[in-house]
Chain A
Amino acid sequence: MDDRSEKAWAAAEAAARQSYGKLVAWLAARTRDVAGAEDVLADAFAAALERWPRTGVPAQPEAWLLAVARRRRVDAVRRRLTREAGREHLKLIAEEMEARMTDEDLPDERLRLMFACAHPAIESGVRAPLILQTILGFDAATIASAFLVSPATMSQRLVRAKARIRETGIPLRVPERTELGERLDAVLEAIYAAFAEGWSDPAGTETRRRNLASEGIWLGRLVASLLPDEPEALGLLALMLFAEARRPARRGAAGDYVPLTAQDCALWDDVLIDEAEALLGHAATKGVIGRYQLEAAVQSAHTTRRLSGRIDWAAIRQLYDALSMISGSPVVAINRAVAIAETDGATAGLAALYVLGDDKRLADYQPYWAARAGLLARLGNVVHAAEAYDRAIGLERDPALRRFLQAKRAALPKN
């Protein structure tokens, strides 16, 4: 496939997913029957994915999908009629919608569907997969491979979650102001989880996972456009764009791991960084700070290196101070200790790390041991640094990062 047809294919696929998600959300908003809505549209969506890349996106993509869905389902519906009266109900709604869609735009209910998928009554681990399936139409096997679970397990969990929406009576609605905060967190967290799954394949060797990072950004854009006054929604999008901008610099020519502070800024994507900065600036005008804005601000502080040539560690440390106050996450605490080491010296950084020593969650957490090893090495404590590096190496999954840590360990001075 040449570059142009690849672009056309991607555009057609995006349009198909967009229309599909809108239709599923529209149907499900009326019945709470997400699985039924997916059923009605499954064949039509597959046909669109197959045809649109060749023929181009039709003028009214949603109407196209519905027309195909209707034609293909006549037989199936006849067969199932007695067994599934509920599905028949959906078909009627689809027909009504098709009739009125000639002159009106379909209302966008996707945000409501996302809030249902990320409802507290849905098991937290399945929220991101559920959003990817219902809003973007990914099949269980694709989602399973991205989240490193078996397709059968993933499929079962998705089916169960969808049944739960209907049976438990989870509403498809955007929560009221008073409860929006907590609920929005769950939506943003699910989107970030999708992005992070894709991000964890830095070399981009697994296409499925890399797609997941773009889908996360796509969902982030959707939420930010539907809730343009929610600073954390803007913050999350900014955070993902900052990270995505650095993708080309995360690995060296030979596939070696390149830490953020050593990355070649010339490889960063300036357009994405500028967009992220603008989003973050806009979020700041709302006057409500939060986790994603702070994390995006850390990324922003790192990227100023492309203009000034130096990293503003004092700013980064302040941001991590603020983050550790609202999150209490050990991961934040480690990054804060690393920043302290840069502003106040390795001894102070190490002291901040040792305070965390009791946290059991860190015993098997590679970045903790790597940070500890790095600071011990700077203080000349070679023996303990080597021990900590061994621990970190033993815990790392990614071979490139493992090689990087092994090189660090080998570079320790011999006594």
Chain B
Amino acid sequence: MRYMLLIYNDEAAMANTPKEQTQQALAAYGAYTEALKKSGAWLAGERLRPTQAATAVRMAGAKTNVLDGPYADTKEQLAGFYMIEAADIDTAIEWAARCPAASTGTVEVRPIWEMTEYITEQ
């Protein structure tokens, strides 16, 4: 099964982290990504710019509504993601727990809804 690991972190706290610690965190993410790739679980994964770079877009009638900022104001913000291949939720949870974000913020594990499935399920 394919799973998304959605990484949520407190941006403000991250911005205030000492440089040395940030370096350490980056190295940890690097090692984690490497481990995912070596095991063959890695499908994709990227870091996102902080929400100050976010833009929310919505159509209101015929008018395009463009809002400066993220979709939702939350305590922790979406900061990046991995897409992985895992046999089941247990394996996916194991990978999520290894992700450095699990100790600084929250990793949400979501199964990919494969098209073949949602077409037959309807």
* B1 CB contacts on chain A under 8 angstroms: 169
Interface string of A105-140 (1 = CB under 8 A from B): 000000000000001010000000000000000000
Interface string of B60-103 (1 = CB under 8 A from A): 00000000000000000000000000111110110000000000
* A169 CB contacts on chain B under 8 angstroms: 1, 3, 86-89, 92, 111
* Minimum Cβ distance to chain B for residue A166 (Å): 9
Interface string of B98-122 (1 = CB under 8 A from A): 0000000000000101000000110
* A119 CB contacts on chain B under 8 angstroms: 89
Q: In the assembly, what is the distance between CA of A325 and CA of B52, in Å?
A: 50
Contact with B89, one of A84, A85, A86, A170 (Cβ below 8 angstroms): A170
Size of chain A's interface in residues, with CB distance under 8 A? Answer: 10
Contact with B90, one of A85, A86, A171 (Cβ below 8 angstroms): A171
Report yes or no: B111 in contact with A171, Cβ–Cβ below 8 A.
no
With both beta carbons as reference points, the residue of chain A lying nearest to B110 in the complex is identified as: A168
Q: In the assembly, what is the distance between CA of A86 and CA of B113, in Å?
A: 15
With both beta carbons as reference points, the residue of chain B lying nearest to A163 in the complex is identified as: B121
Given A85-B120, A86-B120: A167 touches B111 (CB 8 Å cut-off): yes
Report yes or no: B120 in contact with A168, Cβ–Cβ below 8 A.
no
Q: In the assembly, what is the distance between CA of A167 and CA of B3, in Å?
A: 11
* B87 CB contacts on chain A under 8 angstroms: 169, 171
* A86 CB contacts on chain B under 8 angstroms: 120-121
* B120 CB contacts on chain A under 8 angstroms: 84-86
Dominant SS among interface residues on chain A: loop
Residues of A136-181 at the interface with B, using a CB-CB cut-off of 8 Å, are 167-171
Q: In the assembly, what is the distance between CA of A214 and CA of B38, in Å?
A: 50
* A84 CB contacts on chain B under 8 angstroms: 120
Q: In the assembly, what is the distance between CA of A121 and CA of B3, in Å?
A: 15
* Minimum Cβ distance to chain A for residue B40 (Å): 17
* A85 CB contacts on chain B under 8 angstroms: 120
* Minimum Cβ distance to chain B for residue A181 (Å): 15
* B92 CB contacts on chain A under 8 angstroms: 169
Q: In the assembly, what is the distance between CA of A121 and CA of B120, in Å?
A: 25
* Minimum Cβ distance to chain A for residue B83 (Å): 14
* Minimum Cβ distance to chain A for residue B107 (Å): 14
* Minimum Cβ distance to chain B for residue A285 (Å): 31
* Minimum Cβ distance to chain A for residue B95 (Å): 13
With both beta carbons as reference points, the residue of chain A lying nearest to B1 in the complex is identified as: A169
Interface centre among B1, B3, B86, B89 (most CB of A within 10 A): B89
* Minimum Cβ distance to chain B for residue A81 (Å): 11
Q: In the assembly, what is the distance between CA of A167 and CA of B110, in Å?
A: 9
Q: In the assembly, what is the distance between CA of A193 and CA of B88, in Å?
A: 27
* Minimum Cβ distance to chain A for residue B62 (Å): 37
* Minimum Cβ distance to chain B for residue A48 (Å): 30
With both beta carbons as reference points, the residue of chain B lying nearest to A32 in the complex is identified as: B88
* Minimum Cβ distance to chain B for residue A149 (Å): 26
Given A84-B120, A85-B120, A86-B120: A168 touches B90 (CB 8 Å cut-off): no
Given A85-B120, A86-B120: A170 touches B111 (CB 8 Å cut-off): no
Q: In the assembly, what is the distance between CA of A168 and CA of B3, in Å?
A: 9
* A121 CB contacts on chain B under 8 angstroms: 89, 93
Residues of A243-295 at the interface with B, using a CB-CB cut-off of 8 Å, are none
Residues of A218-254 at the interface with B, using a CB-CB cut-off of 8 Å, are none
Q: In the assembly, what is the distance between CA of A171 and CA of B1, in Å?
A: 11
With both beta carbons as reference points, the residue of chain A lying nearest to B94 in the complex is identified as: A179
* Minimum Cβ distance to chain A for residue B112 (Å): 10
Residues of A178-232 at the interface with B, using a CB-CB cut-off of 8 Å, are none
* Minimum Cβ distance to chain A for residue B16 (Å): 33
What are 5 A-B pairs with beta-carbon distances under 8 A? A121-B93, A169-B89, A170-B89, A171-B87, A171-B90
Q: Could you list 10 further interchain pairs (A-B, Cβ under 8 angstroms) beyond the known A86-B120, A170-B90?
A: A84-B120, A85-B120, A86-B121, A167-B111, A169-B1, A169-B87, A169-B88, A169-B89, A171-B88, A171-B89
Residues of A within 8 A of B (CB): 84-86, 119, 121, 167-171
Complex A-B, nearest 3 residue pairs according to Cβ-Cβ distance, in ascending order: A171-B88, A85-B120, A169-B89
